[in-house]
Amino acid sequence: MADVVVYVDHVDGAVRKPTLELLTLARRLGEPVAVALGAGAAGTARVLGEHGAVRVLVSEAAEFGEFLVVPKVEALQAAVEAVSPVAVLVASSAEAKEVAARLALRIGSGVLTDAVDVEAGAEGPVATQSAFAASFTTKSRVSRGVPVITVKPNSAPVEPSPAAGAVEELSVSFSEGARGTKVVSRTPRESSGRPELTEAAIVVSGGRGVNGAENFAVIEALADSLGAAVGASRAAVDAGWYPHTNQVGQTGKSVSPQLYIASGISGAIQHRAGMQTSKTIVAVNKDAEAPIFDLVDYGVVGDLFDVVPQLTEEIKTRKG
């Protein structure tokens, strides 16, 4: 059976959920061969095997942490040459997209980014993508080389599918160019204890209407009652009320949760670009004319400082 290379996104051996989703998609195209790089890579094998990875190619070279992007490109290139896959799947993050694009150019293949679905087709994998702030849906494929496709989080279910997950050492010899951009220091992000924004099943976001950093406690309380991640509009981020890592939209994160709750957010096109594909959308806004209401499944016209705390209380009561 044909092999499909899956590039593993992990933090010190802890596999991130989008990679498990990729394994589900990869199994539609062939047998998943995972490639895990960097510190802790070998520790990913068990989980990957449980989700369908037949083999796990591993390299823990220090270069992956010391230099930007290119060492990963060279390792993936070595994996592609060793495996001769029918496709390479990568989870869409800013860095992984860069890795995917450079890999594609090197191996003479086309690249598609930010797919929301991947299916087998007569002439190779077909990727579904969203365009123009998700107002269009396109289907595309790669017409030359080994298709390299990056896939957005929440595009497929995580499905257990036991496979060997056999660990093999991937040997990579780095070029001089791989050492071009030095990572002088790295400060890991402190965890908020809440789910990762792009992976969360529920996202609760606040905008300019939240009117102050301290008021974000109201949004956080609602998020916590639902076990949700917290998002923010750019207006709220630019005002310094919430960190940029939580921004939803064109220049922030793109999210596609089961439920998105927007409070005090008008629904500008650039914000919609990052949340329009959410399954269920709910908004609280005191302006009945706010464009966000064009998107909602349920909307409340009202002051978020009345509605949101009442909602949080009611959820707590119902959950007991």
Partner 1 sequence: MSLRIVVPVKFVPDATGERRFGDDLTVDREDVDGLLSELDEYAVEQALQIAGEADDAVVTVVTVGPEDARDALRKALSMGADKAVHVEDDDVHGSDVIATSLVLAKAVEKTGFDVVVCGMASTDGTMGVLPALLAERLGVPQVTLLSEVSVSGGVVSGRRDGDAATERLEASLPAVVSVTDQSGEARYPSFKGIMAAKKKPVESLDLDDLGIGADEVGLGGSWTLVESAAERPARTAGTVVKDEGEGGRQLAEFLAGQKFI
DSSP at 217: H
* Count of residues in the chain: 320
Q: C-alpha 85: how far from its chain's center?
A: 23
The one among 268, 281, 282, 311 contacting ligand FAD by CB under 6 A: 268
Can you tell me whether residue 26 is helix, strand or coil? helix
Instruction: State the Cα–Cα distance between residues 201 and 13, nearest whole angstrom.
Output: 23
CA distances from 155 to 61, 162, 198, 259 (A): 31, 21, 11, 14
Task: Say which entry of ligand FAD, partner 1, none residue 42 contacts (CB below 5 to 8 A, set by partner kind).
Answer: none
Does residue 290 interact with ligand FAD by CB under 6 A? yes
Q: Which is nearer to partner 1, 25 or 222 (CB)?
A: 222
Q: Which is nearer to partner 1, 81 or 182 (CB)?
A: 182
Q: Which is nearer to ligand FAD, 155 or 266 (CB)?
A: 266
* Stretch of 39-47, 50-58, 103-111, 155-163 lying at the interface with partner 1 (CB under 8 A): 103-111
The one among 287, 297, 313, 314 contacting ligand FAD by CB under 6 A: 287
Task: Say which entry of partner 1, ligand FAD, none residue 107 contacts (CB below 5 to 8 A, set by partner kind).
Answer: none
Tell me the backbone φ, ψ of residue 206, rounded to 5 degrees. Answer: -125, 150
Q: Which is nearer to partner 1, 162 or 320 (CB)?
A: 320
Closest CA to 226 of 282, 272, 273: 282
The one among 77, 82, 106, 305 contacting ligand FAD by CB under 6 A: 305
Task: Say which entry of ligand FAD, partner 1, none residue 175 contacts (CB below 5 to 8 A, set by partner kind).
Answer: none
Task: Say which entry of ligand FAD, partner 1, none residue 289 contacts (CB below 5 to 8 A, set by partner kind).
Answer: none
The one among 207, 219, 242, 311 contacting ligand FAD by CB under 6 A: 207
What does R_g of the chain's alpha carbons equal in angstroms?
21
Enumerate residues 252-311 that contact partner 1 by CB under 8 A: 258-259, 269-270, 273, 280-282, 284, 288, 293-303, 306-311
Can you tell me whether residue 303 is helix, strand or coil? coil
CA distances from 217 to 125, 203, 228, 305 (A): 45, 15, 14, 11
Enumerate residues 220-259 that contact ligand FAD by CB under 6 A: 233-236, 247-252
Enumerate residues 113-142 that contact partner 1 by CB under 8 A: 113-114, 126, 130-142
Query: Can you state the angle between helices 304-319 and 216-226, rounded to 10 degrees?
Result: 20
Enumerate residues 45-104 that contact ligand FAD by CB under 6 A: none
Cβ-based burial of 145 (10 A; exposed 0-12, middle 13-18, buried ≥19): middle
Does residue 66 interact with partner 1 by CB under 8 A? no
Tokens of 224: 């916590």
Does residue 239 interact with partner 1 by CB under 8 A? no
Q: How far is the CB of 171 from partner 1 (least distance, A)?
A: 22
Can you tell me whether residue 67 is helix, strand or coil? strand
The pairing of beta strand 87-91 with beta strand 148-151: parallel
Residues at the interface with ligand FAD (CB under 6 A):
207-209, 233-236, 247-252, 264-266, 268, 270-271, 274, 284-287, 290, 303-305
